A = this chain, B = another copy of it.
């Protein structure tokens, strides 16, 4: 690792615990070139047992732990960006850690090393940024423990990062993770060679057996049921049938033993104790009066990604973090990536990660340079009701679009109305399309997802041609009116005269039984208005369309009634019969 540099920062470095070091050393590697105004830096944080060697620097350099993601033309493009990755404080790959000499005793620290936290690790790397002349990184990114560091950076040092990526991680470590870490530690303590952490003397045996068991436990948590089935199944290792013995029988046993054993050659047992302890202690609200107070400090745009099969830091924990951020008005995008590699997905699903990162970074710049032409080209397939919605919403409004799809409406609202927009959509692909447009979208089910938002967070909440597909429209619209001052709801009018004739002729209404036709409720204007009463809301405005044309005035309605005089339509029932699409603006009765 000839590309690995070290830098020592003289002077007292105080830890969260109150303990301090007289000086600290960090090992780090950099890739690419820092530009003149130092605005192209990306700080990558490694996970539990990673190091500064995130990728190779040259063909003859060993490959790094995120080789596929870092390099020329890759997700973290070293042609464009200046990438920095440092071994963590407390590690064993060049940075100050338990193997280092304790200046007070002249012997390796061992268990005299003070307990460090994720916040301490991040603080140490701020010294490195100073050293490199970087005031603010364009992006801080990390997976697993690295994601905790990225989050901690955004909270502790809000001015030092413009964007953060938190992958396969959590805002607060769960008791299950603590339990798994504790068992790993107990496996090390149980090894007599560990000797209370004092085993660095020449000739002293190392606690390799305990460390190997600890690593095996960790490896199980990196995989998942499905990835193990795919990778090993019940395949036997080098034999035709089970041996009725305690030798290696199954491939999965062989894998674990190998992983456990090789780990002892590259990692220090004490370091594993310290790093797992730092993870246990991680709770982003810690040190602030509340979680909300901590998250409110964030100034960066945040991208949170979870992986569907990750059971170590499962999607529910990322959802919970994303929800808390949304509740505190942080510009947050959340996406759950479908994957069957378990927790390891953040290292293995590099293609999806690359696309996501590229989109997130590009849209970060495009948030500054408005590329109108690029946007216009996307907007050719405008939906007719969108024009109407744009007409209703005043400039600068705060808008939430439920079932935002690939983001056409909120993109228009963002650019044409300078609205502060947010979206929710169930589909990973749609969310990723939104990210590529620089939109902040939360992946989730709109029947559940609104509880994240505080009361009155939005001026308008939109539900465009989606209400018929909801399982519980009452609950959703009530929630819309809690989180928004106004709700805008559009739907196709089942009572449109052509639909009635079709029904009368027995040609059916709504969707057929054929595939691709979803189950949908049919809604007439009178049914909708009855529904509005049932949720104790009031109608502020009604708008109607026919054949894409807005029925904009009483005179237009008169003309329509006249045009369809053969139907014998009374003027008051005009919209109920003559509008194929309706849009209502609702507000809560009390407001």
Residues of A within 8 A of B (CB): 16-17, 19, 111, 114-115, 172-176, 178-180, 182-183, 185-187, 189-192, 209-210, 212-213, 216-217, 219-220, 223-225, 228-229, 231-234, 242, 244-246, 249-253, 256-257, 260, 273, 277, 280-281, 283, 311, 314, 316, 467-475, 494-495, 499-501, 503-504, 506-515, 517-528, 530-531, 534, 573, 576-577
A245: which B residues are within 8 A, CB to CB? 115
Provide 22 A-B residue pairs closer than 8 Å at the C-beta atoms, listed in order of the A residue.
A16-B244, A114-B244, A175-B232, A178-B234, A179-B223, A179-B252, A179-B256, A182-B256, A182-B257, A183-B217, A217-B217, A249-B280, A311-B311, A471-B519, A499-B503, A500-B503, A506-B525, A507-B526, A510-B521, A519-B520, A519-B521, A522-B522
- Alpha-carbon separation in the docked complex, A509 to B527 (Å): 10
Given A182-B216, A513-B528, check contact A175 B233 (CB 8 Å). yes
- Alpha-carbon separation in the docked complex, A246 to B184 (Å): 13
Establish whether residues B522 and A506, one from each chain, have CB atoms under 8 Å apart when the complex forms: no
- Alpha-carbon separation in the docked complex, A216 to B176 (Å): 12
A250: which B residues are within 8 A, CB to CB? 175, 178, 182, 280
Closest chain B residue, CB of each to CB of A114: B244
A506: which B residues are within 8 A, CB to CB? 495, 500, 524-526, 573, 576-577
Given A172-B234, A256-B183, check contact A512 B527 (CB 8 Å). yes
Closest chain B residue, CB of each to CB of A181: B253
- Alpha-carbon separation in the docked complex, A527 to B189 (Å): 71
Establish whether residues B311 and A253, one from each chain, have CB atoms under 8 Å apart when the complex forms: no
Closest chain B residue, CB of each to CB of A525: B506
- Since A176-B225, A187-B190, A190-B191 are in contact, a sample of 15 more A-B pairs with Cβ atoms closer than 8 Å, ordered by chain A residue number, is A115-B246, A175-B233, A179-B252, A179-B253, A190-B190, A213-B213, A234-B283, A249-B281, A472-B515, A494-B509, A501-B504, A508-B526, A513-B531, A519-B519, A519-B520
Among B182, B469, B513, point to the contact of A474 (Cβ < 8 A).
B513
Closest chain B residue, CB of each to CB of A218: B183
Nearest CB of chain B from residue A581's CB, rounded to whole Å: 16
Given A213-B187, A512-B530, check contact A223 B176 (CB 8 Å). yes
Closest chain B residue, CB of each to CB of A217: B183
Establish whether residues A185 and B273, one from each chain, have CB atoms under 8 Å apart when the complex forms: no
- Alpha-carbon separation in the docked complex, A134 to B416 (Å): 83
- Alpha-carbon separation in the docked complex, A534 to B517 (Å): 14
Establish whether residues A475 and B216, one from each chain, have CB atoms under 8 Å apart when the complex forms: no
Establish whether residues A512 and B521, one from each chain, have CB atoms under 8 Å apart when the complex forms: yes
Nearest CB of chain B from residue A21's CB, rounded to whole Å: 14
Among B223, B470, B513, point to the contact of A467 (Cβ < 8 A).
B513
A494: which B residues are within 8 A, CB to CB? 503, 508-509
Nearest CB of chain B from residue A307's CB, rounded to whole Å: 16
A220: which B residues are within 8 A, CB to CB? 176, 179-180, 183
Establish whether residues B522 and A175, one from each chain, have CB atoms under 8 Å apart when the complex forms: no
A213: which B residues are within 8 A, CB to CB? 183, 186-187, 190, 213
Among B114, B225, B242, B522, point to the contact of A508 (Cβ < 8 A).
B522
Nearest CB of chain B from residue A240's CB, rounded to whole Å: 13
Establish whether residues B531 and A508, one from each chain, have CB atoms under 8 Å apart when the complex forms: no
Establish whether residues B523 and A508, one from each chain, have CB atoms under 8 Å apart when the complex forms: yes
Establish whether residues B531 and A521, one from each chain, have CB atoms under 8 Å apart when the complex forms: no
- Alpha-carbon separation in the docked complex, A283 to B512 (Å): 45
- Alpha-carbon separation in the docked complex, A513 to B586 (Å): 16
Establish whether residues A244 and B19, one from each chain, have CB atoms under 8 Å apart when the complex forms: yes
A185: which B residues are within 8 A, CB to CB? 246
Establish whether residues B527 and A523, one from each chain, have CB atoms under 8 Å apart when the complex forms: no
- Alpha-carbon separation in the docked complex, A470 to B509 (Å): 17
A190: which B residues are within 8 A, CB to CB? 187, 190-191, 209-210, 212-213
